[in-house]
Amino acid sequence: MVYKNALQEDYSPRVAAKRTRKMQEILGVALDLACENGLENMTLHVLARRMDRSVAAVYRYFPSREAVVRELQRLVGSHLILLNKDAAEALDRCAAKQNISQDISCLAQILTSAQVYENYARTHPAEFDLITHHLSTAFYKLPEKDAGLVFDVTRINLEALAGRFEVAMENGLLHEGDAKGHAMMLWGALQGVLQVQKLERSAPDFFTSKKLPNTTLDALLIGWGAEPKTVEATRALLEKLPSTKSKRDLRHLLEDTSH
């Protein structure tokens, strides 16, 4: 089970199942509100009003607005885990079918992970904003416990990316280094690029949005020891491969938490 609500309490199986259904219902409505009007405008009073319930009824399942926000962010993080898994498996199938060299395949796995994140930002901006909302400010907006539970899900994606860096290092494609540090730096760089892309409307001649993410990530890989020709060949391959976009929908995780 990839996504499991963080509110763990001792209930009988029947009561626990009922509570899970209610919490999923609340989160579904909260997701609608956050995507419609932004996370800042999603309050428990607005949530209760949309559900035609009392605020006290919502409090029985979530102790605070922050707890709802936390679960929405964990939901998106879990969704990204599955999207990355789908993309990695699709790439492996293509690599085996087309007999792609290990060098290019290793770098392709790293770039595909970044591609999943970028594509999600472009195709589902409202959902993407749920998980990146608190990254755009230096101030802590979630209590430490809640933020830690969100990162527990984010960590899975980062560790998977770090594993791809380790494979690349073991095969001599990158210099030896801190794989987890590389994963965090690549994720941070991509996050920064995606945020500044909004300036494209004001200066389209300066911000070449389609090239900026690729240029940034390629520079990082080359700086970490990748051969420019190998990076270029990897990019060319990814452009020719069939689409690896997953057909998964975020709401499927609320409807069925067994996937």
In DSSP notation, the chain reads -----S------HHHHHHHHHHHHHHHHHHHHHHHHH-GGG--HHHHHHHHT--HHHHHTT-SSHHHHHHHHHHHHHHHHHHHHHHHHHHHHHHHHHHT--HHHHHHHHHHHHHHHHHHHHHH-HHHHHHHHGGGGSSS--S-HHHHHHHHHHHHHHHHHHHHHHHHHHHTTSS-S--HHHHHHHHHHHHHHHHHHGGGGGT-TTT--TTTHHHHHHHHHHHHTT--HHHHHHHHHHHHHSPP------TTHHHH-TT-
Specify whether the CB–CB gap between 109 and 164 falls below 8 A.
yes
pLDDT at 258 over 50: no
Average pLDDT, the chain: 87
Alpha carbon dihedral 86, 91, 96, 102, in 10-degree steps, equals -130
Residue 147 and residue 69: Cα distance in Å, rounded? 10
125, amino acid identity = P
Question: What predicted TM-score, i.e. pTM, was given to this entire model?
Answer: 0.88
Q: How is residue 83 written in tokens?
A: 């999207």
Highest-pLDDT range among 47-61, 144-158, 187-201: 47-61
Write out pLDDT tens, residues 31-85.
999 999 888 889 999 999 999 999 999 999 999 999 999 999 999 999 999 999 9
DSSP string, 115-158: HHHHHHHHH-HHHHHHHHGGGGSSS--S-HHHHHHHHHHHHHHH
Q: How many CB atoms lie within 10 A of CB 25?
A: 14
What pLDDT does 10 receive? 66
* R_g of the chain computed on alpha carbons: 20
Does residue 2 register a pLDDT over 50? no
- pLDDT tier for residue 162 given thresholds of 50, 70 and 90: very high
Residue 205: predicted pLDDT: 72
Rounded percentage of the chain residues whose pLDDT exceeds 90: 54
